[in-house]
Amino acid sequence: MNYYKISFSLSRIFLLSAFTFTINLSFAQKTAISLKSAYQDDFLIGTALGTEHILEKNEKANALIKREFNAITPENIMKAQVIHPAPNRYNFTLADKYVEYGQKNQMYVVGHTLVWHSQLPPFVFKISNPDSLRIFMTEHINTVAGRYAGKINSWDVVNEALNEDGSLRKSVFLNKLGEGYIKEAFLLAAKADPKAALYYNDYNIEQPAKRKGAIELIKKLQASGVKIDGVGIQGHWSINTLNLKDIEDSILEFSALGIKIAFTELDLTVLPNPWDLQGADVNQRFEEKPEMNPYKDALPDSVQTVLANRYTDLFKLFLKHKDKISRITFWGVDDNHSWLNGFPIRNRTNYPLLFDRLLEPKKAYQAVLNLKIAK
């Protein structure tokens, strides 16, 4: 064979190989894209971890968490009922493993939560003396926040302290310590863990009345010189009643206070809600009825599409205001893990997240990802 023909053939083979390699590399790059990599220049993408995730019991779930998320929040194991079950007794086993999980995977670690009226250990409700309750709160914050000082990136210092009309919730803390307990909690947290960002966290504070109350609360803290770095809007919403205007107004109004906004517990229920229930008051329960559990076996494709569209709308809004938002955290890893399966009616099957019960991505996942990779 002629030398020039051999050279030409080799050149064609080389070019074809290079072209094939480029295609394969492009495909590999696309398949390697995750939520956290797609949004790395915008805000953190987080998830709530249950005990099974912290202990890394499910290999597929563990791989998914590490691939898709760069921020974590403990679903329950840092709440007082678990971490401080009795006077002068703490249980740090799971909390230690949670913090270790975040550190070894180089994730943003959220502490949730220091002061909350719910999921308290029973002995707290037996405290009748205000001074004794103040001692409990002080020792609890000093011990828990102090133990993880320098290892927690942000704390939800006070959780759900407001009623729907924006007034202060008549919790055990308000009733015995007065409204000053919120300021005390932030001061204690700032002293116990000076490097952590400190957040007030609540549901429905995107809605006008409750938002007004939250803004007044934050302004009072700021006026008294208290360190407060951000506000957490939980984001327990419905595909049927998602109000983007309220959400955008809340981003703008909270940001005007000079603080960051995090969406801390995001999920979108797909199930009917005849009581016009909103938010996440865990004490609300309703009767089981078949019509309230319409997707017991599977979610219809038409509803999958609606869910994907709602997440698309939400993330378009988040991207519009990415300079004001620090983090978006989904309240659960997958549909099977979601607390909404049993709230506010037991034994319901819900589908509020981006990954299904087999830990596979849903239409909603691809929709959120497409907002970035389509550009």
Rounded to an integer, what is the distance from CA 328 to the centroid of its chain?
6
User: Which pair of structure tokens corresponds to residue 132?
Assistant: 């004794």
Q: Report pLDDT digits (tens) over 336-347.
A: 999 999 877 888
* Nearest CA-CA partner of 92 in 108, 111, 116: 111
What is the pTM (predicted TM-score) of this model? 0.89
Select the more confidently predicted residue: 190 or 283.
190
Catalytic residue, chosen from 68, 75, 184, 265, is 265
Give the Cα separation of 75 and 288 in Å (integer): 25
Residue-level pLDDT at 200: 98
Pairing of strands 154-159, 197-202: parallel
pLDDT over 70 (residue 25): no
pLDDT for position 291: 73
Residue of 117, 122, 220, 219 lying closest to 163 (CA atoms): 117
265 is catalytic: yes
Q: What is the DSSP string of 281-345?
A: -TT------GGG-TTSS---HHHHHHHHHHHHHHHHHHHHTTTTEEEEEESSSSGGG-GGGGSSS
266 DSSP β-pair partners: 330
The model's pLDDT over 244-273, given as tens digits with 9 standing for 90+, comes to 999 999 999 999 999 999 999 999 999 987
Residue bearing the bigger pLDDT, 344 or 208: 208
Query: Amino acid identity of 197?
Result: A
Q: Across all residues in the chain, what is the average pLDDT?
A: 90
DSSP structure class, residue 44: E
The helix or strand, by DSSP H or E, that contains position 253, with its residue range, turns out to be helix 244-255
Q: Are 43 and 327 in contact (CB under 8 A)?
A: yes
Q: Is 206 a catalytic residue?
A: no
Band of pLDDT at residue 21, cut at 50, 70 and 90:
very low
- 35 within 8 A of 45, measured Cβ to Cβ: yes
- The helix/strand/coil state of 183 is helix
**What are 163's two structure tokens?**
């009623």
Burial of 231 (0-12, 13-18, 19+ CB in 10 A): buried
Fold observed for domain 43-373: TIM Barrel (3.20.20)
Map out the domains of the chain as residue ranges: 43-373
- Closest C-alpha to 274, from 261, 291, 262: 291
Average pLDDT over residues 153-157: 98
Cβ atoms of 100 and 63 closer than 8 Å: no
Per annotation, catalytic residue among 75, 160, 184, 206: 160
Task: Compute the distance between CA of residue 331 and CA of residue 64 in angstroms, rounded to an integer.
Answer: 15
